Chain A
Amino acid sequence: MIDFTHYAAALDLVFQVKVITAIAGGTILGIIFGALPGLTAAMGIAVLLPLTYDMPPVMGFGMLLGTYCGAISGGSIAATLLNIPGTPASVATTLDAYPMAKKGEAGRALGLAIAASFIGGLFSSVVLSLAAPPVAEMALRFGAAEYFSLAVFGLTIIASVSGKSLAKGVVAGLIGVFVSLVGLDPTTGSPRYTFGEMSLLSGVAFLPALIGLFAVGQVLTDAEEALQSKVVQIQQRVGSVGLPFGAVFKRWKIVLSSCIIGTTVGAIPGAGGSVASFLAYDQARRLSKTPEKFGTGHDEGVIASETSNNAMTGGAIIPTITLGVPGEAAAAVLMGGLMIHGLRPGPLLFTEQADIVYGILMAFFLANIFMMVFQFIGIKLFVKVLGVPRSFLIPVILLFCVIGSFGVSGNLFDVYLLLVFGVLGFFLNKYGYGTAPVVLGMILGTMAETEFRKGLIMFEGDGTVFFTRPISALFLGLALISVLIPLYQKWRDGRAKPAA
């Protein structure tokens, strides 16, 4: 049940000048990160994590939420003006926003994107506030068997949707699980893969690994790609930018379907913004009276894509804070942000730290408002950011990564870890394994092992308990389906090819 007394207490935590300034600052930085092609929302949050180390939880996490919302929305700027998605979540936006820009309607496309992003974000923040408390309450009834099965489900679905192939996605997820096993065994205290290194006894530090995989790995990829791409030249004039809410609300069916698709896809671990925006775009075409105009600079295409990718953000936070299972890559980094403030994501968070959690929900709501206001007011400045040379950007991002890793514990070993995971992230990206399954594997691996062993000890070695308890059996069934669907699709494609 939603307890409104917690919202009253949370008001005091959120409505402070420094907290609001932090959320606003995070949102502006997020829009900048989102606007720059190649810099993802996950990377933006990872790079800005060190800024939050010394902040109170709601302030620090609010800033990161602002970065998240801003980055997803800011992706539409490069998508409109350069035909390059600023973040993967705005790939579908390029299909109509860029043709609009070519027709001299860049300002209108950007305005539509801002308004649609705001409505999507607002919808998902309402769903988040309504759905998170009951989900957490239900999860309180989970035992060891259910948590183990949930972890298995999370891992399989992430692996099946994240990598370019199922096998590679699973390998990446298992690498994450392996990394989570390093250190002292939580049950027996026996050292595993520590090679006598004291710093590894408590396991591989999560944040340096996270920053390495998402930020350093991505920076190396960007640096490599920068050699091939020419200097960014903005050909289109932005013109005047309005907020055409009327045009958006006129397509209320498309807006509603995009909101529902975005939030639902966000709540499914691993799916992410690009899946949400393409599904919503496809659905919008079906609902449209003028489907033939899609891809030629149609308002409805921009509205569908941008509504859904920002609706995805709230959806992704639901499993992250209620179950400890991140909905997508950026949510995994946000989870790291929660952990550095001593908050353990999961159902207990709602009972033990209720005021903070409700404060976070309110901060997310505020972040969406700031996202619209700042992107609208500062659009001309954000467009200028596209021209910042990579040769200035890349070194500064690397410096932030080093500060972030060193700042966790003041231990240089963590910075070497950053380097190792950066290299790993680069190769995983390069060969189509993806980095998101690794991070999610690191989170879910610990949960899977601990709960599996706890379950066996509690039920006297009876392994059937994982299949006989209804919720546990449901999760394992869903895990099996998530593996079988891609295999079936591949088999069907294989049969269709020779016939063609």
Chain B
Amino acid sequence: MKVKGDALFALTLFAIFSFGTYRSLVMDDPAGGPNDVGAAFFPFWICVFIQALTAFVFVQSVTNVRSVGAPQSGGNGVLMRKRLVLLIGILALLFFYIMVMETVGFIVSSTVFLILVHQLLIFSETGRPSRPKGVAVSAAFFAVTAGSLFFVFNTVFHLALP
């Protein structure tokens, strides 16, 4: 699965930087002086180099799969699913946290974010949620953490948090 993912990642990078090459070709490209190469020169060549190298990595990954043999499926399928759920869960929570931070305020949004990530990690590790007492203890701990950080950064370090 890892080799497959490697090839897929190389292919994704190739696609992203193909778009980068296209954008460099249609870019407004004035020269900064009589001998200047222009604003699009570096972007174009960097993207082309990345395309060439990711194409090489892709071919190498695919060739390795063939020579080594197709990766075995099953066995650790449950672990793979758990990993995927955990990663998507953390990223989704982080995204929503950023989205609501300004509206809800730092302390409340941070406390909720910390509790949810903590619960997600516990659920992923043990396969079951925490007991209500455990949730209450962690909630109290994270509320104090968020409040203390707000105080430290806002008051001591003069960092304006929402």
Contacts and interface: CB of A to CB of B under 8 A. Distances in A.
Nearest to B33: A457
Contacts of A5: none
A193 B23 contact: yes
B135 to A, nearest CB: 12
A478 interface: no
Nearest to A450: B42
Contacts of B156: 54
Contacts of B145: 396, 399
Contacts of A207: none
B6 A403 contact: no
Nearest to A407: B159
A11 B91 CA distance: 46
Interface in B111-125: 113-114, 117-118, 121-122, 124-125
Interface of A: 50-51, 53-55, 165, 167-168, 170-171, 174-175, 177-178, 181, 185, 187-188, 190-193, 216, 220, 223-224, 226-228, 390-392, 394-396, 398-400, 402-403, 406-407, 410, 412, 415-416, 419, 422-423, 426-427, 430-432, 445, 449, 452-453, 456-457, 459-461
B66 to A, nearest CB: 18
30 contacts: A50-B153, A54-B159, A55-B157, A165-B57, A174-B53, A175-B13, A178-B47, A185-B39, A187-B39, A188-B38, A188-B39, A190-B27, A190-B30, A220-B91, A227-B86, A391-B118, A391-B125, A398-B117, A399-B113, A399-B149, A402-B101, A402-B110, A407-B159, A410-B160, A415-B98, A415-B101, A432-B6, A457-B34, A459-B35, A460-B34
Contact of A187 (B5, B32, B83, B97): B32
Interface in B3-28: 5-6, 9-10, 13, 17, 20, 23-24, 27-28
B42 A188 contact: no
B117 to A, nearest CB: 4
B42 A449 contact: yes
A204 B24 CA distance: 17
A96 B91 CA distance: 39
Given A53-B159, A167-B57, A224 B87 contact: yes
A396 B141 CA distance: 11
Contact of B94 (A54, A190, A390, A398): A398
B90 interface: yes
A461 B86 CA distance: 54
Contacts of B53: 167, 170-171, 174
Nearest to B61: A431
B32 A453 contact: yes
A456 B35 contact: yes
Contacts of B128: none
Given A187-B39, A224-B87, A410-B160, A174 B46 contact: yes
Nearest to B47: A178
Nearest to A396: B145
A457 B36 contact: yes
Contact of B36 (A407, A419, A426, A453): A453
A71 B79 CA distance: 31
B83 to A, nearest CB: 5
